[in-house]
A and B are shown apart, each in its own frame.
Chain A
């Protein structure tokens, strides 16, 4: 447990102290969300209809951007090799890293949501629903991204391959995240939120094992 908390607090400390990364991430999320309306045109009803899709695509891209550094610095400075001699198994340590990573890359998106909600003309209900889906869905994105980051950690040009692997696997998150907004279907929102939460729980529980396995192989 000490080891778990140590990893969690170290990663949070590093993430917050090198605050530039955090800022870049949030900025990227907002910029993508603001750029898309330029492609669509200033049609307010259309934009508010597209808002969930825009928010989720922006969140997906922003998260994708952040995964590569999840294990890379620990891999390159030798920390990962030492983790193998810890009192806690590598799976547990990776789980701690995932939680820290989500707090640093998933949660800030929620904080930046009001800006996008205003620009895209989202209603108050829509805003809260978007916050809820982001909260319920981004852990799954972190989990899939962690697997992509772990399998490419040994590659110098891994930053290019990882998204190709991660994006198709993230499709369910995108579907449930935006599906929650469907006005035509009664109960779509609660159903989608439940599915998102289930997906996040299961993937966060299983991803550490897959990622730790890939990290062990990469370390050889």
Chain B
């Protein structure tokens, strides 16, 4: 029986994903990305409030969709990022995959919470109630719980290397489970509430709402990328702090 260490092929990906290299090249990316995010939001908000007409069915409440839809999209996209990073952690044991997972979890939770909040705000004028036990709202709420559980698990571990691999297992199990939860919630909803107010396909999408929707989705995605990158950088720095502190404590302890 032979054990081999994870091979390091010095390909382009390995090189840019090495923690030291990563810190080097991302340093020059953060500021442009932040500026691009700000510009996209400026453009998006202008289109949302000044350059798009009210929807012929929803009226002005359509303007809430321009925040709701991008945050809802990010709430799932974050999980996809965590899922692929979890595979990176378990299969290749890549340190940057650990860092990416850890950085994405709070962002996912925040965007999911925002999607729920904007959904509730939109629900009041549309359904007449803030919270409707609607299939989408309910499964989004469960998704929020899963994010919070994963964050709690991260925090329960002292050894962050072990935490990354354990959390990866939960993330993968969650990924298998989320569709099942979605299905069960939909099944439950047809049981209790045959006629849903909120049609999944939505009202026919007019071109006039498509532009602000796309621009805002782009802006939110850029925001996620920026925040994720900065948080990854912070996490790499924290690990560096930890090893420096360890070395210092060892030196001060007068170890032989």
On whether A and B touch (CB less than 8 Å), the answer reads yes
Q: Interface size of B by Cβ–Cβ distance < 8 Å?
A: 31
Q: Which residues of B, 14-61, contact A by the 8 Å Cβ criterion? A: none
Residue-wise, chain A 130-160 has the 8 Å CB interface mask toward B (1 for contact) of 0000000000000000010011101101100
CB-contact partner of B166 in A157, A185, A217, under 8 A: A217
Given known contacts A164-B145, A168-B149, A169-B181, what 6 new A-B pairs fall within 8 Å (CB)?
A151-B166, A154-B166, A165-B153, A169-B173, A182-B192, A185-B191
CB-contact partner of B187 in A164, A168, A179, A210, under 8 A: A179
Indicate if B197 sits at the interface (CB-CB under 8 A).
no
- Closest B-chain residue to A191, C-beta based? B187
Separation in Å of the B233 CB from the closest CB of chain A? 26
CB distance B156 to A172 under 8 Å? no
Question: Taking beta carbons and an 8 Å cutoff, which residues of B are in contact with A?
Answer: 90, 142, 145-146, 148-150, 152-153, 156-157, 162, 165-167, 169-170, 172-174, 176-177, 180-181, 183-185, 187-188, 191-192
Separation in Å of the B72 CB from the closest CB of chain A? 18
CB distance A155 to B157 under 8 Å? yes
Separation in Å of the A68 CB from the closest CB of chain B? 14
CB distance B187 to A151 under 8 Å? no
Contact (A168, B145) CB under 8 Å given A151-B153, A157-B156, A217-B162: yes
Residues from chain B with Cβ under 8 Å of A218 in the complex: 162, 166
CB distance A165 to B170 under 8 Å? yes
Residues from chain B with Cβ under 8 Å of A99 in the complex: none
Q: Of residues A147, A157, A171, which shows the largest number of chain B Cβ atoms within 10 Å of its Cβ? A: A171
CB-contact partner of A154 in B152, B162, B173, B188, under 8 A: B162
- Closest B-chain residue to A164, C-beta based? B149
Question: Taking beta carbons and an 8 Å cutoff, which residues of A are in contact with B?
Answer: 147, 150-152, 154-155, 157-158, 161, 164-165, 167-169, 171-172, 175-176, 179, 182, 184-185, 188, 195, 199, 206, 210, 213-214, 217-218, 220
CB distance A165 to B169 under 8 Å? no
